[in-house]
Amino acid sequence: MKPSIFGYEAPTSLEDAIRLLAGDTDAVVLAGGQTLLPAMNFRAANPSLLVDIQHIQGLRGIAVGADGIVVKAMVRHREFELDQDVLCANPLVAEVIQHVAHVPIRTRGTVVGSLCHADPSAEIPLLLVLLGGSVIAQGPSGTREIAAEDFFQSFLTTARSHDEIVIEARFPLLPRRAGWAFDEVTRRHGDYAVVGVGCVVSLDGSGCAERVRLAACGIADRPIRLKDAEAILTGTALGISDLDAAAEASVAAVTQPDDINVSQSYRRRALGALIRRMVVKAAQRAGSAQHAESVA
């Protein structure tokens, strides 16, 4: 199929781009286009105007500092994945992005574009929620910061206003001596996740979980923190009974109904299995980090 008739503008300033969006409620932002253009070809999306932001100065680049990782709106997935400063500051990033589609798509698709598309089974939104990150949106009224857990509201729905452009995403650094893990269940390599789970664990001196963060995608209408499981695991030795209790406490978080691929009960079983595996893997990495620091 082919898309319906649409207009095209490629402004060179952020102000002009925002003005174009404000002037047409059916206008949409074009960045990487790896989701938008196929949707237009199937006429699942029918924008009246594409506002291409690739020529706007200041929307490219990655900055890693003490306050976190800043990813500008035109940064591609592949650029984020291969950045060595990012890898050192937060190795979870590369582990997550390796599950995003395939290399050709990661070479064109943008990190911020994935966040704004807000597919509840996508990996990048989960990463932002897991780490407690945020986005910066700019519109006619100025600039505002939106926390990840407030940004994702429902299926393909965010807190971004129509006339705003998300100009950057902010990913926190991995806590010192923390362990990390991410994995997902998919029908085929490169597909969206049926269930995905990310975990960050920090251990205290006795080897108990001092801090646990867990988030999942594919189980609800947006990526979510598994706060009940976090509370159960925090302060424990992460034994089998602790893991089982955390998995059981997360069953109710699965609200995605049966679909043509999997049942809700399958998602619940997969979620429990991934929670157990990811917590153990993250804790092992945290223990290795502690050991390496003590030896050094």
CATH of domain 62-171: 3.30.465.10
Q: Enumerate the domain spans of the chain.
A: 7-52, 62-171, 179-295
The DSSP 8-state label assigned to residue 252 in this structure reads G
Q: What pLDDT is attached to residue 288? A: 83
Q: What CATH topology corresponds to 7-52?
A: 3.30.43
| Nearest Cα residue to 207 out of 280, 296, 295 | 280
Q: What pLDDT is attached to residue 292? A: 57
Low-confidence ranges of the chain (pLDDT < 50): 291
Fold agreement between 62-171 and 179-295: no
How many CA atoms are closer than 13 Å to the CA of 94, on its beta-carbon side?
12
- Are 174 and 180 in contact by the 8 Å Cβ rule? The answer is yes
Q: What pLDDT is attached to residue 1? A: 73
CATH of domain 179-295: 3.30.390.50
By DSSP bridging, strand 165-171 and strand 195-203 are unpaired
- Return the bridge partners of 205, or none: none
pTM for the whole structure = 0.96
